[in-house]
Amino acid sequence: MEHTTINIKLKVWKQANTQSKGYFESYDVPGISTEMSFLEMFDVLNERLIAEGKEPIAFDHDCREGICGMCSMYINGKPHGPWEGTTTCQLHMRAFKDGDIIVVEPWRAAAFPVIKDLMVDRGAFDRIIQAGGYISVNTGNAVDGNALPIEKEKADNAFAAAACIGCGACVAACKNSSAMLFVSAKVSHLALLPQGAPERKQRVMNMIAQMDKEGFGACTNTGACEAACPKEISITNIARLNAEYLSASLTTA
């Protein structure tokens, strides 16, 4: 199969560290195969910059299979770029045309401080999980999968919520930098399953408290988070989170 190559221009956010003032740097990137992923294109550019004795562009990545959530970038004003339901690492250069100017930025949120260039510190999400996004009761030995009957609808909804990879696109898309979609996915996943019942009330109270402590904004109800989510997590989880929080607030001493 014949591969098409394109010439593009990148405008990339450069920032030495959290305290430094950032700026856009322009790069001409010729001869890029449309079969490359977006991160492979960055690899090619960085190899050239290193060969020229210049500093490469810092960006986060790990699995490059749309699983880890680390490849968080704003691409032409959209979290993860123009393709819906797609992480940056799964975005391919065929999404762009020859001569395109592509603007790449890190997430913009006070709770996600820039580490360097396109890398942000998403430790706030880790601390929210540490506050309650787990099951700590002793569940004993592994049991047969059918030993705990779960309604199919609940099982399906729990599985869909568990698909959240914690990339932060929901925060980046929200004008208030809200983390409600992320938190609601993590709360819903366990609230829908019997294994999560013993710590159900304390979990939602602790995770919401930590979310507020981290400085995330309030939900805007505009649905931008759902639209930007690469795993297409539903905002119905936010309604469930609100219900869980209200119930816990009324019944927790």
**229: CATH:** 1.10.1060.10
Q: Nearest to residue 171, comparing CAs of 204, 127, 206, 220? A: 220
Residue 72 lies in a domain: yes
Residue 117 lies in a domain: no
Q: Which residues, 6 or more positions from 232, have their beta carbon under 8 angstroms from its beta carbon?
A: 84, 85, 226
For residue 10, the cross-strand partners are 27, 102
- Domain finish residue from 47, 75, 105: 105
pLDDT in tens, the chain (253 residues): 456 999 999 999 999 999 999 999 999 999 999 999 999 999 999 999 999 999 999 999 999 999 999 998 999 999 999 999 999 999 999 999 999 999 999 999 999 999 999 999 999 999 999 999 998 877 677 767 667 788 999 999 999 999 999 999 999 999 999 999 999 999 999 999 988 999 999 999 999 999 999 999 999 999 999 999 999 999 999 999 999 999 999 986 5
Number of domains forming the structure of the chain: 2
Q: CA quadruple 37, 42, 46, 52: dihedral positive or negative?
A: positive
- Domain finish residue from 78, 105, 132: 105
Q: CA quadruple 74, 80, 83, 84: dihedral positive or negative?
A: negative
On whether both 146 and 53 belong to a single domain, the answer is: no
Provide the pLDDT for residue 195. 87
On whether both 144 and 221 belong to a single domain, the answer is: yes
Residue 110 lies in a domain: no
Whether 178 contacts 219, CB under 8 Å: yes
On whether both 128 and 90 belong to a single domain, the answer is: no
Q: Nearest to residue 172, comparing CAs of 213, 133, 227? A: 227
On whether both 95 and 134 belong to a single domain, the answer is: no
Provide the pLDDT for residue 252. 67
What is the rounded end-to-end Cα distance, in angstroms, of the chain? Answer: 66
Distance CA 228, CA 237 (A): 15
Residue 205 lies in a domain: yes
Residue 116 lies in a domain: no
- Domain finish residue from 72, 105, 138: 105
Token pair, residue 234, equals 């539903």
Residue 180 lies in a domain: yes
Q: What is the pTM of this model?
A: 0.93
Residue 40 lies in a domain: yes
Residues spanned by the domain of 34? 5-105
Provide the H-helix boundaries in 74-179: 123-132, 152-162, 169-173
Residue 114 lies in a domain: no
On whether both 96 and 152 belong to a single domain, the answer is: no
Provide the pLDDT for residue 1. 45
On whether both 48 and 134 belong to a single domain, the answer is: no
On whether both 99 and 128 belong to a single domain, the answer is: no
Beta-strand runs (E) in 48-165: 74-75, 78-79, 101-105, 114-116, 119-120
Q: Nearest to residue 72, comparing CAs of 168, 161, 184? A: 168
Distance CA 12, CA 92 (A): 18
On whether both 80 and 139 belong to a single domain, the answer is: no
